[in-house]
Amino acid sequence: MVRTTILGIAAVGTLLTQGWGCSTGQRGANPSRTTTMTPRVPIPTPTPMPGPTGGSSNVGCGLQLATSPLAFCETFDQPHSGGTRTGDLDPVLWGVSRIGKIDSGQGALNLISDTQMIACGATTTVGPPNAVRVCNGQVYESQNDNHGVVNIDLYPKQPFDFTGRTGTVGFDVSADSEGIHGAWPEFIITDKPVPGARSDISNTGGTSGNNDVLPPAAANEIGVNFDGGCAKTTDTTGVAKIYVTRNNAFIEVPVNQTDCVKKGSPTAMNHVEVRVNQARIEIWMSDGGSRTLKMVASADNLNLSFTKGLVWMTDAHYNADKFPNPNGQRVHTFAWDNLAFDGPKTYRDLGYDVPEANERNGAATSLGYSVGSPKTLNVAGNVTWGPNTTGAQIVFNYWVSGTAVPSVSLNGNEFIDTPNPFAADGLSFMWRSISIPIPSLSQVHSGANSITFKSTDGSTVVANISLIMVHGAEVP
């Protein structure tokens, strides 16, 4: 929840009237690369949202740079019980996914290690789904990478629409990353509600079967890493990398790093606002404990392939013990708050999760399912949808040693076979994220539903499975 007075709004407005400034020789995948900029995209001088009016009733979640009315605001004031993999978040409104280790011989099918979670006034040992907690007006999530690569992704099921305009998304986070070999918060927008939708930007894939890469990108997305980039001193952080995926083709774009901020904590959070259109993205941040924004990074010539999507709060780990970090981020907890975005109120997807396998494996839990042989899984809850529903899709992550894409059948209907959308990258032995549309709403049952998977590759594992009813409900 918002606890401080918004400062420096006039200064922010002055900076924004200077337009979409740019520079060459930007740091990115190729530090020596220079970029020829397209003409500046005109951005109107923003009218700041109202400041806090007291407690959790603040209208706007502290969003300062929005130029359109508020469409979504979540202050995480009350926990919800009864979720599947969403912990204390309401599964009707939120989706949560986790990506972990694969070692079929050891029964590790999306294996997530127990973590020491620091939240709600205590340190407790928890596993999924209990590593997502809501208390003290914040949402906390914790991970233990256990010397590997893991991530957890949280998203609201209401799309953010920036069609024909510059949209603004804001949130608070305890941004205290020790760098790319640590734990870091990440912000992503995807065109579809695919789980595990982030990409490793320091590896290009593996063929050894060692699961040595982070999950790949969604088909169309943009992502920002708050992993210590632009660090002037050890107590500062910023944006190091920005990446874009267009039709499953991943690219890291050159970043113009303009500043950095003091690291935050759960009690002195960094406020972040992201302004984005199809051509450009700006990232504004405050120092930990402040609300005064300054632009820390930008990127141009994005050529995004979508203008409406889902926003994700992601916690990524990359073997945080590989290079010793002062704060030891192999086991780490991030706090988030005040997620908001502007624009039109579009609709709300209704998502129904398949319960995870939840097989204990030492001090860890195996969440996925082997589907080398056909396997039928039940969807949790009674599926419903509204009259304006436009379609249904099955979303999931899958891991395979080759290139096979699992086939799916909803409620015993004909199997849907999907050509490999990732053939161009030539990679294997890695997690994928995918959305498979259902041919007709008539295949969806009101109430109980089941999904059957099969694969031509006996190594195939699936995880984070959901049935999504697109435009299933109107936004209140």
Tokens of 48: 């700041």
Q: Do the beta carbons of residue 372 and residue 457 sit within 8 Å?
A: yes
CATH 2.60.120.560 domain locations along the chain: 9-342
**C-alpha closest to that of 158 among 48, 35, 71:** 71
**C-alpha closest to that of 181 among 140, 149, 146:** 149
Return d(Cα 431, Cα 197) in angstroms, integer.
10
Q: Output the pTM of the full model.
A: 0.86
Q: Cα-flanking dihedrals φ and ψ of residue 245, to 5°? A: -120, 130
Q: Looking at domain 348-473, which of 3.60.15.10, 2.60.40.10, 3.30.390.50, 2.60.120.1200 is its CATH number?
A: 2.60.120.1200
* pLDDT of amino acid 48: 37
CATH 2.60.120.1200 domain locations along the chain: 348-473
* pLDDT of amino acid 457: 95
* pLDDT of amino acid 424: 83
Return d(Cα 205, Cα 197) in angstroms, integer.
16
* pLDDT of amino acid 428: 82
Find how far residue 234's CA is from the centre of its chain: 26
For 9-342, CATH gives: 2.60.120.560
b/e code 107-136 from CB counts within 10 Å (16+ = b): ebbbbbbbbebbbeeeeeebbbbebbbbbb
* pLDDT of amino acid 1: 53
Return d(Cα 289, Cα 3) in angstroms, integer.
10
List per-residue pLDDT tens for the chain, 476 residues long. Answer: 543 333 333 333 333 332 222 222 222 333 333 333 333 333 333 333 333 322 233 346 999 999 999 999 999 999 998 777 999 999 988 999 999 999 988 889 999 999 999 999 999 999 999 999 999 999 999 999 988 888 999 999 999 999 999 999 999 999 999 887 788 999 999 999 999 987 554 444 444 434 344 456 789 999 999 987 776 678 899 998 899 999 988 888 999 999 999 999 999 999 999 999 999 999 999 999 999 999 999 999 999 999 999 999 999 988 888 766 666 899 999 999 999 999 999 999 999 999 999 999 999 999 999 999 999 999 998 999 999 999 999 999 999 999 999 999 999 999 999 999 988 887 788 889 999 999 999 999 999 999 999 999 999 999 999 999 999 999 98
**C-alpha closest to that of 97 among 315, 266, 249:** 315
* pLDDT of amino acid 27: 29
